[in-house]
Structures are given as C-alpha cells and as structure tokens.
Structure 1
C-alpha cells in the first residue's frame, strides 16, 4: 500500500513542476514578444524616418551637379570672367570588393591624375562611403583618358566622372582687383565674384540613381535614375570698358615701377553724369587665374629669406594685400586736391569770389603753430583763382577761416566725405568719425589745416565721386560698376539707373570752379595734365602721411591728381593716386598729372569725345607723311611742301626709292622727310641722342643735328620750361636719318 501511495505522489509532482516551467516559459515568451513588438513599433513608428533614410541610402545614389556660374562682361560685352566645362572624379569605395583592386587603383590613378598614392589608397578603404573626390576639375583630354581606363578595368560601379566648371579670366590681370576670384568650390571669394555671389552662383542639380543590395547598379531593365537639372547663374554686364581699363593699367603700371612706389597706385575713371565707373585700376595687382601667386618680385625675395610659421604668415599677408581693391578700401589724406572743395564751399556761400585777394609770405601762424607754404618765400599777392592754381596753403587757411567750421562741415558732409559711397562692390571701407574732424572739433587750427586737405582721410572712390559733383552741376551721384544683370539665356533681368544722392552746390558754382580748374591745367600747377584739343580741368595734390611718418620716422607722401574733361561740358572724371613714391621728385603735379594726361589722351578719343583745337594747337598739330616712294623727286617735293613738311634728298637719282619716315607715320609740322634716290645710300644711319632732361628747344636742336624728327607729347609745345622725361628709342641706337623719335615732356614744378 505504501508503495502505491509513493508511486502516485511521484506522478503528480513532475506535472506540477512542468506546469510551473510552462508558465515561466510562456511568461518569458510573452515578455520577449512584447519586447520585440515594442522594438518593432519603435522602429516602424518612432524611428521610421531614420530607418527609411538608411534604406534609401543603401538603395539610392544621390550626386550633386554643379551649375554653370554666370559670365561677367565689360560694357562692350567682352568676356572678363567665364566658366568652362571640366570634370570631377568621384569614387565609391563601398563598391570595391577586392584588395588587389584597391592597390591597382592607387598605383594607376596616382600616376594618371597626379595625386598622392597613399592618400588615394586610404580613400579606397572607406568601405561605407559612396562619395570620395579623387580629383576635381580635370580637363577634357585627361577625363577622356581616365574614362578609357575605367572601362578597360570594368570599374564603372566604382568611378563616376561628373561634369563640373572652372572659372577662367581670359584677360588675366585686367581689372583683377575689381573682379576678384573664386575658390575651388566655385564660390566667389573676393571682388564682384563675392559681392554678387548669389546672382552668379546658380543652383546645384541632382542625379538620383537606384542601387541593388550590394550597392551596384540595377539590371538595365530595372534601372532607375532621376535628374534635377542645375540652374545656371546669372551674368553681369559691367560699366567697366576693358579698353579704357587697359589704358589706365598700362600707364599706372609704368609710373608705379618708375617711382619705386611702395604702397601701390590707383586710377578711377567715372562718368560724371551717372556715376558709372569706366575704369578702376590697381597696380601691383594679381592674376585671378592664379590668385595665390605673389606678383611683386621684391615681396617674393623678402619672403624667400623666411621660414616656418613666419614665412607662412608673410605669404598670407602678401596675398591679402595684393587682393585688396585699393580705390575703395584704402584711406589717404587728400592733400591739395581737397582745395577744390574748400574753394567750391567759399564760392557757394559767397565768402570768396574770383576777385578776392590774399597775400602769402611763405606761411601763416595759427595760435602758436607756424604752418608753411610749399613755396619758400611765399607767393606774394594772389587772387582767388591763382591761390587755387598755385595751391597756396596760407591763402586756403584764410579761406577756410572765413568760411567757418559750421559751413565747412556742412559741405564736407554734403560732398560725401562722412559716409560710404554705396558702390556695389565688396569691402568699401567704413567711414567713422575717427577719420575726420567733427564740427565741434573744427577749431581755428584744425579748420585751417583741413582747408588744404591734411589731417583727415578719405577713400579714392569718395574723392572721385565728389569731383564728379564739382563737374556735373553740383549733384552727388551714387557710383556703380554693374550696369545690367542677365539671365542664362542673355535676357536682361535688371538695369541700373543713375541715382542722385543730393545737390551739394549750385550749377553756377560748378561752372565757376570748373573754369578755375581748367585754368590750373592750362597754365597753373596742373599743367602736366594738359591735352591739346581737350580742355582738361583738375587739381594736383601731394599729401604727407602724417600719422604713419610720425610713428615710423619716415617722410612718405601720396601724389595725386583729380580732374575731368572737357572742362566746358564735362563727361569723364579721373583720379590718379601714387602711394609712397620713392623718387626725389614726388609731387602730384610731376608724377600723377602726367599719368592722367597719358590715359585721357587715349581714352577720350576712344570714348567718342571730339577734340576742339585752339588756333595755336592747330598750328602746332602733327602731320601724316604722304606716300612719295616711287614718285619723281620733283613730284615728291611738291607733295611734301603742300603737307607743310620739309625734305632732304639723298643721292643723285630722279626717283624716290625709299622715304623716312614711311607713309602714314606721324611727323611734326615742318618735320623733315628724307628721300633716298640711290641704292647705295639706303644703308645710311645716324645715332639717336639723349633727349632726357632737355627743353623742347634743346631737343629740337639735338634732333636737327642728328637729322631726326621729334614727335612731341606732354607739355613740349605748351611750356618752354618743360623737360623731356622719356623717348621712344634709346640713346645711342643707330637709325636711318629722318626717323621719328617720340619724346614726352613734363614740367618739373614743386606745386603740391
């Protein structure tokens, strides 16, 4: 009986234990299911977007396509900046399955594309990446060679060659400081490229392609690709005329080199009636195709002596300095050019007139300070126009004092010297009250000094904009460099209209001061800006860099000229600024005015301004030699006499075999044409003398003795005191008799 009971108990016990185990297992399964369900819910609901993106990333390839950056044109639609097609090489390392493929890619492409092998190999190891740039912006021949390599090695799933764009500047350095440049990503970094970035850049496109589970392209029947086209950028049409810009840069570069200028030079030419900038030049400059290259050889030589961090810092500084657009960014003391505005203020307010008289004894004492005139011993008695023409500091101190600080400051503000001009360019310098005297600060001493343009600072763009107001009847214009914005099809989106900011002086005062400035060029301190047939008006300046000179114990100056033409119907204004010339003679009238003369002599005829010659100018005008080669000597003599030219017959023949100068060459009135009539005489030569430093009379005698003709430019015909400063053929060279030597004359005055 006992055995039976024990057997029954044994049977029931496992059943109870199994039930408990089953409950536990079911509970665990339930908890597991709840956990899985919760996790799935989290994935499907809370994290749905995240996992959907991950799935799309694995199944879709998304490539960015670059838009074509807008073209920049000059005013005549000459291309200044454009984007050309290049190609960027993209690698998808996640599609590389074998180590030997990685090695082959690194070995072959490091040579073909001229990239670092180790860096390329490391990119092949990024097995989770589908987008690694191997090399950007390769040209067509290299892209073709690479494409053939990819096909040969069956690596189409690993590499893509994407169309891209590279910025080119076909005129190289021309207007480089205005244009600026772009970076490797095609974004504008400096100049108009940066200022108009949103206009020029366009919008990127996309190419979306479906992939299989291994990241490879789908079978051709299942392949999916969606393209969103890039939107090309808009173009800019500038007010800059590349021909006038070339004239400005050509002569500015010459004077910067000749004067050993240590802080570059600037030229601005502006339409006085609209504010449109026709040229804006800076020398030294840079090539925007290679903006990282330092162009100043002296700077490069100094940097070469450095090493390490010091060298890196010097390179960075040198690059940034050459990129700066000096005409809108640099401050300078305007010097005597500012006397133009002090004179205009006084005429407008009636505190001075053309009949006002002043006496200069060489200086003027203000409180306990004696301020000298640039002319030792003084100018003596002066009328108001002569005070401006001779740039007399004491006279202008009196003019400023009579005007008073309140009125002076009113017009100082009116002419725009306390504000930015608002030109549509990057980095126009801020104007703060630290740069000039406030009305409260204009005590007698400060007012006197400010009246002749010292102890305050302006920017070149402020100065020429104010000079345009002098020329155009008194209106202060807002300057601009972009005339039109074009869409990618060439349609005009917007056109810039001239903006008059305010009327500063009356039209009557404008005409009166313009006449005085024209007289200054015709026979006063700005005479080196004289151009036959074009009545130039203008004022020179030579300003001390006082704060810098005191701090560094130097004697640096800024030589400048600001003017416009024609004086009686102004069209274009010009500002020339030479910053820190290192020559012995460094006055604005001697250095800057001749540059303005040379630039405007070429620019004005090009711009369609007709010359109007005085009778004196007509009488002195050059002639063009007629074609007398092959004619009888008697006929040639008659033709030359009718052209107001002399002749010299060489040989005893009766027919002209050769003439010097040849037909069509410019020769002065009464110049001599040499007529060769015998073969044996054709090889005759004469030696070119040194004309530098001679007056026109002395140069003519030397030319006559050497049987040469002189073509005079500058002041040779206008001033007996002007001296030759350049000649077209170097002294000592042997040339045929009758050869025309171009000689430029300047007046070496010391008027500031």
Structure 2
C-alpha cells in the first residue's frame, strides 16, 4: 500500500524540527568540563570588576574635589566670585575752584566735549551736515566735507567744545554725531594771575603756582565704592552709598585782589616797555599778617595756553630768583645799628664821596660828595660812604649774626612753590675780609628773593615782627564760611617798635626830600627807599652795564601797614635808576591801593585837624 504524499511531508517536517531543537539545546547548555567556556566566563567577570573599579575611583575623585572646593578652598573661591560679581569705582571729582579775596573766579573746572562724526550714520548728506556745523565750529565747509569723506566712522571733528556750543549742535538732532564729555581747567582771567595761580597739565596735575603747591586742597577727596554687576556686565546700584556722586562746594580762596593786580599789570608793562627792560615785578603785602594783595610779573603767560609759553615763565621769579637788593636794604642796616645802639638818629657823618676799605675804593653812586650828613640824609641821598661808616661802628661778628637773624641765607617758607634759599657768605669768609661788611652795608655781596625783601620791610612797617608772606587764605563755601585756614608760623620779633618807627620816619624823608620824590601822593605820607644795584654775574663779579632798579614804599607812613616793592631788571638808558624807573610804578600802585583799602589821608599833610 503506498503512503500518501501528505503523510510523507509531515513526517519529514517533524524530523527536521526535532533535530533543530536538539541542536539548540546542546549549544545552550555548555558542558562544565569545557575549558573554552570557562575562559569566557572569567573574562566577563574581570571586565565587570574593572568597570566597577573605574566608577568607584571616579566617585572618590569627585568626592575629594568637592571637599577641596567646599572646605579647603571655599573661602578663597568665595572671594574670587565676589570680585567677579563686584566692580570698584572711583568717581571723577572736579578740582576745586580758585577765587580771589573778592570771590572773583581765577580757576575752575568746566565740562567740555570732544565731537566725533560717524558719516555712515548721517541721516542727511555730508554737505548738509558740514553746512550746519561749519559756522558754529568756525570751520570751513569744504574742509569739513573732506574730513567726512576720509573714513566712514570715528572721525574727531573738534576738541574742547564748550557746553553752549555742544547744546547748539545737539539741538540739530543730527544722526552720526557723538559727544564725549570730559573736564577742562579754565582760567577766566587769562594771564592776570598766572604767576600766582599756575596751571594744570593734561593729566590734571598742577605744574606751577598754587595749582602745584596746594594740590591736596584743590583735589576733592573721593571714596572708592563697590557696585554689584549683573550677568551681562551691567552695574547694579542697589548697594551704592547714598550721595556718593555729590561733592562739596568748597573753593580755595587766595589773598590776591584781581582789581589791584590788573591795574599793576598795566603800569608795570608800560614801564618795562618804556625802558626796554628784561622783566619787571611788583609785590604788595599787608605787613600785619603777611597776606599778599598783589604779585605781578611781566612778561607772563596765558594759563589757558600754557603749551605756547616760554617754559622759563612758569617760575615765579619773585620767589625763585635771587638778586642783590642794593640800596633798598639800607633802611634795614640802619635799623640794625639803631637796635644795637651804635648810632643815634641825629648822628652826623662826614661823607667825602669815597672811602677806602682794604684795597678797594667805595664810591657814592650819583653824587660825589655830601660832606656832613645825618642818618636820614644818608638814606635820602643813598650814600654808600655813610652806610659803610655806620656799619664800621659794629663788630663784624655782631653784624653777621644780625644778618643771619634777619633770615638771610634762608627761605621765607611761603606757600608759593619753587622758592629758593638766599645766599649769605660763610661766617669765616665774611669775617676774613673787611670789604665784606662794607659791601653788605649798601646791599651788595649777598642775595635774596624780592619776596624776602618785602618780608624784611614788612618788619619795619609792623613794629619789628617777621611775618610769613602767603597767598592762601583757606577753603570757603558758597556762604563765605571758612572751613580750613592754613597755620602760619608765629611772627618773630626782630626789632623794637621804637627802632622801626625811627627808621620809618627817616624813610618818609626819602620820599618828601630825597631820591624817592617820584612816589609822592598829595595828601598822603609815604615812606620809601630807592635802589639801583649792579647785577651779579653767574660766573662771579658783576655784569658790565647791567643794573637792577627797585623802589620799596610803605603806606601810610603815620600808621604803616602796606609794603609795595617794584623791581625792573636791566632797564636801558642813562637815566634808568630806582627813583626814575621803579618809584613811579609804586606811586601808581598806591593810587589804586589807597581807595581799595580805604586808607584815609594824613591830616598833618592835608592840614585838617
């Protein structure tokens, strides 16, 4: 019997399936005794251990790093984070203004602007923008157009634009213009007080005058503040101290009177030019306290344009240069002799016109012989011979000690910068030759500054006290209340008031009868002394033909208070003397000073009772 095809197919499929399952079961269940299978299992286990070891080590590393960051370096990192989150700012503070005794502004900070142009942002044509800017900036239209065409952005058009001009330009509402603000020092009086006030450089540091010597008073104190910063770098003023941008309204007031200063400048300039002199100076001091009402030098410079000036003009030569005072020192020598009792006011001296000292012959300057003259006449005629005879009555050692007592060879210690020390020969050299005391008797052989001579004559005017010449009054507010006054050395008594009054009386005759007649003012008594000295050479000896003329006046003579010194350096002409060059300057100064300080006329001179 034949088998059917379907039964045969079923049996073959069952055998194939049975064989497949049997083969699978054999491969899935390894035999324990197979070395190959054991190696594979061991390798798998090792790999698992390595992975776990790596993970464990990484966890230990993370834990140690967390410990280091949080515990070991936590404080340091906290500070670093805070420094990144905070920014320290020191706000800009303008310098304090400088004003004179009458509140006239002499120096102040003002906002100015630098104008940048960005032509690519213009909303009008370059020609239209140039036509609007040119008349305000005082520039040529075509030149401005060329500037705008030079590059598309970042063009500096003008520096130092004032607020009024900047406001006009801003009112045009032109796109592409940028104004960068900064502060600039302005000196409204130009060259009027440049030798006293000085100037500041581009770094806003004082370089001369009180701008230099009073830097600490002029710089407003500012505190450094810390502000937090947002993630985008923007400042967050939440923790800013209240009012940190506000500053005081204090001003530095000086003792100079601009009205007097301006009048003196005109007179001094005219006289220097008239005699074709090298330079000139005038100092006015209140002898009661040493305050300087005026200090004028010519030539001078404009503090607003200091970069154009001769650098030599930055030094105020009345405090920075030495000269031999000549006959203007004679009243001080008379005071020394009177104080030591070696002369009396009515003593008479014989003056033949010349006197021989050692191997030198000393002569009078203008008139050969005065014959018999008293002390007042010695000053009136400026007799060199008479002065030599007066000093010869003193022991040289005593005389030298008195010159040192007056402060010769020392500084005045004023509040103006660059002061130099006077020169007085050593005691050994001074006492080693009889010619040294003789030449010193008429103001030569030693040197001092013009300001020191004013200080010494101030002692004659105030009853014998050496005061400190100064220009700084102090810091004042908008209500004129003084917040700070500098402490000055106490006045030092060097002469008795009796001695100084005798010398002042003699000096009054110099103006009324002697070489100082050119300084007379009707109705007022003035004490004075002329001076015409040879000019010392830096290489020793004297410059041939060069002289320095001066006149010192004291007003009013009946109640001495104000000292006025005028000096003209190297005037030209045969008639160039202290009485002809400097005395007229002092007269003009006093004619302005008298009404300003309300000095009453002398009743004896006017005849009023």
Q: What residue in structure 2 maps to residue 310 of structure 1? A: none
Q: Pick closer, same or farther for the CA change 1:555–1:464 going to 2, 3 Å.
A: same
1:285 aligns with 2:288: no
1:251 aligns with 2:274: no
1:329 aligns with 2:352: no
- Superposition map of 1:237-386 within 5 A: 237-262=253-278, 264-294=279-309, 318-319=310-311, 321-375=312-366, 377-386=368-377
Residue 234 of structure 1 is aligned with which of 250, 262, 276?
250
Per-residue CA deviation, residues 121-144 of structure 1 (Å, 9 max, x unaligned), is: 9999xxxxxxxx999864224544
Q: What residue in structure 2 maps to residue 723 of structure 1? A: none
**Cα distance, 1:120 vs structure 2:** 11
**Cα distance, 1:15 vs structure 2:** 2.4
Q: Pick closer, same or farther for the CA change 1:501–1:491 going to 2, 3 Å.
A: closer
Residue 45 of structure 1 is aligned with which of 41, 54, 75?
75
- Superposition map of 1:710-729 within 5 A: none
**Rounded Cα–Cα distance in structure 1 between residues aligned with 2:64 and 2:119:** 46
**Rounded Cα–Cα distance in structure 2 between residues aligned with 1:383 and 1:597:** 26
1:140 aligns with 2:163: yes
**Rounded Cα–Cα distance in structure 2 between residues aligned with 1:69 and 1:500:** 31
Q: Pick closer, same or farther for the CA change 1:403–1:86 going to 2, 3 Å.
A: same
Q: What residue in structure 1 maps to residue 95 of structure 2? A: 69
Q: Pick closer, same or farther for the CA change 1:553–1:177 going to 2, 3 Å.
A: closer
**Cα distance, 1:68 vs structure 2:** 4.2
Q: Pick closer, same or farther for the CA change 1:174–1:339 going to 2, 3 Å.
A: same
TM-score of the superposed pair, with normalisation by structure 1: 0.65
Residue 9 of structure 1 is aligned with which of 39, 53, 62?
39
**Rounded Cα–Cα distance in structure 2 between residues aligned with 1:328 and 1:11:** 105
Q: Pick closer, same or farther for the CA change 1:217–1:380 going to 2, 3 Å.
A: closer
- Superposition map of 1:450-529 within 5 A: 450-487=440-477, 490-494=480-484, 500-529=490-519
2:499 match: secondary structure: helix
Report if aligned partners of 2:558, 2:602 keep a CA contact under 8 Å in 1. no
Q: Pick closer, same or farther for the CA change 1:88–1:122 going to 2, 3 Å.
A: closer
Residue 530 of structure 2 is aligned with which of 528, 540, 555?
540
Residue 189 of structure 1 is aligned with which of 180, 196, 207?
207
| Structure 2: segments with no counterpart, 5+ residues | 1-30
**Cα distance, 1:575 vs structure 2:** 0.7
**Cα distance, 1:22 vs structure 2:** 4.5
**Rounded Cα–Cα distance in structure 2 between residues aligned with 1:472 and 1:452:** 23
Residue 578 of structure 2 is aligned with which of 572, 582, 588?
588
Report if aligned partners of 2:100, 2:255 keep a CA contact under 8 Å in 1. yes
Per-residue CA deviation, residues 187-216 of structure 1 (Å, 9 max, x unaligned), is: 433212233332232234789877654446
Q: Pick closer, same or farther for the CA change 1:142–1:212 going to 2, 3 Å.
A: farther
Residue 173 of structure 1 is aligned with which of 176, 191, 196?
191
1:228 match: secondary structure: coil
Report if aligned partners of 2:119, 2:148 keep a CA contact under 8 Å in 1. no
2:294 match: secondary structure: strand
**Rounded Cα–Cα distance in structure 1 between residues aligned with 2:516 and 2:334:** 16
**Rounded Cα–Cα distance in structure 2 between residues aligned with 1:254 and 1:507:** 38
Report if aligned partners of 1:81, 1:169 keep a CA contact under 8 Å in 2. yes
Report if aligned partners of 2:281, 2:298 keep a CA contact under 8 Å in 1. yes
Report if aligned partners of 2:534, 2:542 keep a CA contact under 8 Å in 1. no
Residue 437 of structure 1 is aligned with which of 425, 434, 442?
425
Report if aligned partners of 2:325, 2:447 keep a CA contact under 8 Å in 1. yes
2:281 match: secondary structure: strand
**Rounded Cα–Cα distance in structure 2 between residues aligned with 1:497 and 1:35:** 63
Report if aligned partners of 1:204, 1:230 keep a CA contact under 8 Å in 2. no
**Rounded Cα–Cα distance in structure 2 between residues aligned with 1:423 and 1:120:** 54
Q: What residue in structure 2 maps to residue 531 of structure 1? A: 521
Per-residue CA deviation, residues 485-519 of structure 1 (Å, 9 max, x unaligned), is: 21355432245798652221122211211111111
**Cα distance, 1:462 vs structure 2:** 1.0
**Rounded Cα–Cα distance in structure 2 between residues aligned with 1:150 and 1:551:** 71
Report if aligned partners of 1:247, 1:603 keep a CA contact under 8 Å in 2. no
**Rounded Cα–Cα distance in structure 2 between residues aligned with 1:209 and 1:87:** 27
**Cα distance, 1:586 vs structure 2:** 2.7
Whose radius of gyration is greater, 1 or 2? Answer: 2
**Rounded Cα–Cα distance in structure 2 between residues aligned with 1:233 and 1:427:** 29
1:183 match: secondary structure: coil
Q: What residue in structure 2 maps to residue 625 of structure 1? A: none
**Cα distance, 1:532 vs structure 2:** 2.0
**Rounded Cα–Cα distance in structure 1 between residues aligned with 2:158 and 2:59:** 56
Report if aligned partners of 1:175, 1:281 keep a CA contact under 8 Å in 2. yes
Q: What residue in structure 2 maps to residue 408 of structure 1? A: 399
Q: Pick closer, same or farther for the CA change 1:198–1:366 going to 2, 3 Å.
A: same
How many residues align structurally?
Answer: 557
Aligned-pair Cα RMSD in Å:
4.1
**Rounded Cα–Cα distance in structure 1 between residues aligned with 2:174 and 2:556:** 68
Report if aligned partners of 1:199, 1:233 keep a CA contact under 8 Å in 2. no
2:448 match: secondary structure: coil
Q: What residue in structure 2 maps to residue 83 of structure 1? A: 109
Residue 54 of structure 1 is aligned with which of 68, 84, 100?
84
**Cα distance, 1:39 vs structure 2:** 6.2
**Cα distance, 1:46 vs structure 2:** 2.4
**Rounded Cα–Cα distance in structure 2 between residues aligned with 1:342 and 1:209:** 67
**Cα distance, 1:261 vs structure 2:** 2.1
**Cα distance, 1:406 vs structure 2:** 2.5
**Rounded Cα–Cα distance in structure 2 between residues aligned with 1:136 and 1:33:** 61
Q: What residue in structure 2 maps to residue 734 of structure 1? A: none
Q: Pick closer, same or farther for the CA change 1:212–1:612 going to 2, 3 Å.
A: closer
Q: What residue in structure 1 maps to residue 16 of structure 2? A: none
| Structure 1: segments with no counterpart, 5+ residues | 92-100, 125-132, 295-317, 619-752
Report if aligned partners of 2:109, 2:185 keep a CA contact under 8 Å in 1. yes
Q: What residue in structure 1 maps to residue 28 of structure 2? A: none
Report if aligned partners of 2:112, 2:160 keep a CA contact under 8 Å in 1. yes
**Rounded Cα–Cα distance in structure 2 between residues aligned with 1:344 and 1:223:** 71
Q: Pick closer, same or farther for the CA change 1:10–1:225 going to 2, 3 Å.
A: same
Per-residue CA deviation, residues 548-574 of structure 1 (Å, 9 max, x unaligned), is: 374896542211111202222212111
TM-score of the superposed pair, with normalisation by structure 2: 0.79
Q: What residue in structure 1 maps to residue 382 of structure 2? A: 391
Per-residue CA deviation, residues 619-674 of structure 1 (Å, 9 max, x unaligned), is: xxxxxxxxxxxxxxxxxxxxxxxxxxxxxxxxxxxxxxxxxxxxxxxxxxxxxxxx
- Superposition map of 1:608-619 within 5 A: 608-612=598-602
